[in-house]
Chains A and B, each alone.
Chain A
Amino acid sequence: MAVGPIHAGVIESGHFRFHVVGDRILHLDARLFYKHRGLERAAEGSTLAEGARYVGRACAACAVANGLAYAHACEECLGLEPTSELARARALLLELERIWSHLNDIAAVCAGVGLAAGNNLFAALTERARRLNARITGHRFLFGAVAVGGSSLDLDAQAVGAAREELEAIGREASRGWRELQFSASFQDRLPDIGVVGSEDVERLGTVGPAARAAGVALDVRTISTRLAYDGFECRLPERAAGDVRARLEQRALELEQSLEIARALLDEPVRPAPAAPGAVESPVGVGLVESARGATLCVVERDGDRLRRVRLRTGSYANWPSVAYAATDNLLPDFPLINKSFELCYACADR
């Protein structure tokens, strides 16, 4: 059965070929790259600063994560080290992105089940989170907030106070909605034991991000991040880390709570514009690694003077697409939208 590249809902373009017997999926062949724009090739020859535009626009849902991976790679090339102020501003942006993204993903799972109330509640919270992004950085998707060599984010005491309050309110509403979801039997019935990617599969398939953690694998770039302000960060895993749709949903809810805490703590003091500090060794190749809402995002930059010779972006979505195909096997076709939404990968991130 062929599905796509145009889907029934408002979804990105991609083609799925299901091999089925009755309702049971034997094999899923995911054919992507309908959205390939050649961003990496287009960025070749531009200056390191200009390159951020190409990487940032690769995907709206991971604009900060991709941008940061690129900025870190460039700064490694240029021998720049982030100051503590810069690390704080950037970690804040990354968490703001994760917050709206996870809210959106929980809404998407509710939509996948057909639970309109849950979908609407979390979609409304996504809207609030995006409005907050616009108030803080001037853009709902935080476009242009990440630059190579520094941050221009400037929030005074009043602005950080207001943002903290809004995050608290979003957190309250989200946990209220989450509690309601626990009592919706028709919703909960759909989630367990479908789309399973267990801990062994995670290692075999190289699954990253919430999907790996939902299988009990404590893998998070934030625990080893030296360029961002994540001191004392520890992964939170769900009690029932079964690697199924339910575990991935619970993982998102856990991370949402944690991200709200981190963002609020980062907003304790005013955020001032901060440049990166020179002094480290310069190199022709730089690597940046950042935890996006979908998993570890890696960017490699090869430079020629101050110009880009080559740039490669391997996003969390790109790494996880094979896991979606694997998870779909042996499940029922009507469960696929739900399995797909529980990963909620970007096509744009993978296609570039």
Chain B
Amino acid sequence: MLTLLRDLRRLRHSVALPRPDRGRSLALRHVDAGSCNGCEHELTLASTPYYDLQRFGLGIVASPRHADVLLVTGPVTTRMREPLLTAFQAMPEPRLVAALGDCALGCGVLGVPDALVGPVDTVIPVDLRIPGCPPTPETIATALLALVDRRRSGDWQELASREGDGRD
């Protein structure tokens, strides 16, 4: 088993991501609002040896109460509107919302109008858009790392500290 682990460590060198010297972290919470499961599969792989997002301080947390960023996938079905709002409202401020994948952005969505609410930004404000059907783990990693940079430069604080702006 240890041999396997050592071999796996080599894989991350085959991907051109910057060195992990960022010094800040982001806790991510994912909500599936009706995706086809593609975005989830790719997001899962962003934490595997090729990309290994944890080394940049990017981890998926179990509850929105521990999260800085809400990653939302899917075209927001009528049945997922309430749970999505509940998760968003449970997050501590400052908080950010990232719409992950074309469905969440409202591009090329398939379905009937009475089963869908509309893109994520019709339900909660979206700060980061990650396009793709589905976005590759590399796209997801790059977009989230840019967000870490914005946080470090103070830009993030400005973005996410809009308290009492009716976002609930």
Contact of B37 with A117 in the complex, beta carbons under 8 Å? no
Which residues of B have CB within 8 Å of A104? 41
Smallest CB gap from A13: residue in B: B32
Interface centre among A13, A39, A104 (most CB of B within 10 A): A13
Smallest CB gap from A44: residue in B: B112
Contact of B34 with A11 in the complex, beta carbons under 8 Å? no
Tell me if A33 is interfacial: C-beta within 8 Å of chain B: yes
Q: A6-B83, A42-B110, A57-B36 are in contact. List 18 more A-B contacts (CB 8 A).
A: A5-B83, A6-B64, A6-B87, A13-B33, A37-B75, A37-B112, A37-B115, A38-B111, A38-B115, A39-B110, A58-B36, A60-B36, A61-B41, A124-B8, A126-B45, A127-B50, A127-B137, A348-B36
The CA-CA distance from A36 to B4 in the complex, in Å, is 40
* Nearest CB in chain A: distance from B110 CB, A: 5
Which residues of A have CB within 8 Å of B35? 12, 35, 348
* Nearest CB in chain A: distance from B129 CB, A: 19
Which residues of B have CB within 8 Å of A8? 62-63
Which residues of A have CB within 8 Å of B43? 10
* Nearest CB in chain A: distance from B138 CB, A: 10
Which residues of B have CB within 8 Å of A177? 4
Smallest CB gap from A32: residue in B: B79
The CA-CA distance from A54 to B112 in the complex, in Å, is 11
Tell me if B49 is interfacial: C-beta within 8 Å of chain A: yes
Tell me if B1 is interfacial: C-beta within 8 Å of chain A: yes
Contact of A346 with B80 in the complex, beta carbons under 8 Å? no
Tell me if A283 is interfacial: C-beta within 8 Å of chain B: no
Q: List 14 A-B contacts (CB under 8 A).
A: A9-B60, A13-B80, A35-B35, A35-B77, A37-B110, A39-B110, A61-B37, A104-B41, A117-B8, A118-B1, A120-B49, A123-B48, A127-B45, A346-B37
Contact of B79 with A33 in the complex, beta carbons under 8 Å? yes
Contact of A37 with B111 in the complex, beta carbons under 8 Å? yes
Contact of B60 with A10 in the complex, beta carbons under 8 Å? yes
Which residues of B have CB within 8 Å of A313? none
CB within 8 Å of A: which of B19-70? Answer: 30-45, 48-50, 60, 62-64
Tell me if B118 is interfacial: C-beta within 8 Å of chain A: no
Known contacts A33-B79, A124-B8, A12 near B110 by CB under 8 Å: no
Smallest CB gap from A111: residue in B: B44
The CA-CA distance from A42 to B110 in the complex, in Å, is 7
Known contacts A5-B83, A10-B30, A60 near B37 by CB under 8 Å: yes
* Nearest CB in chain B: distance from A346 CB, A: 6
Which residues of A have CB within 8 Å of B8? 117, 120-121, 124
Which residues of B have CB within 8 Å of A124? 8, 11, 48-50
Tell me if A84 is interfacial: C-beta within 8 Å of chain B: no
* Nearest CB in chain B: distance from A254 CB, A: 21
* Nearest CB in chain A: distance from B31 CB, A: 6
* Nearest CB in chain A: distance from B162 CB, A: 24
Which residues of A have CB within 8 Å of B40? 10-12
Contact of A38 with B112 in the complex, beta carbons under 8 Å? yes
Tell me if A27 is interfacial: C-beta within 8 Å of chain B: no
Contact of B48 with A143 in the complex, beta carbons under 8 Å? no
Which residues of B have CB within 8 Å of A118? 1, 4
The CA-CA distance from A118 to B48 in the complex, in Å, is 11
Tell me if A184 is interfacial: C-beta within 8 Å of chain B: yes
Which residues of B have CB within 8 Å of A57? 36, 110
Smallest CB gap from A125: residue in B: B48
Please provide the 6 A-B residue pairs with the shortest distance between their CB atoms, ordered closest to farther.
A60-B38, A38-B112, A37-B111, A8-B62, A123-B48, A38-B115
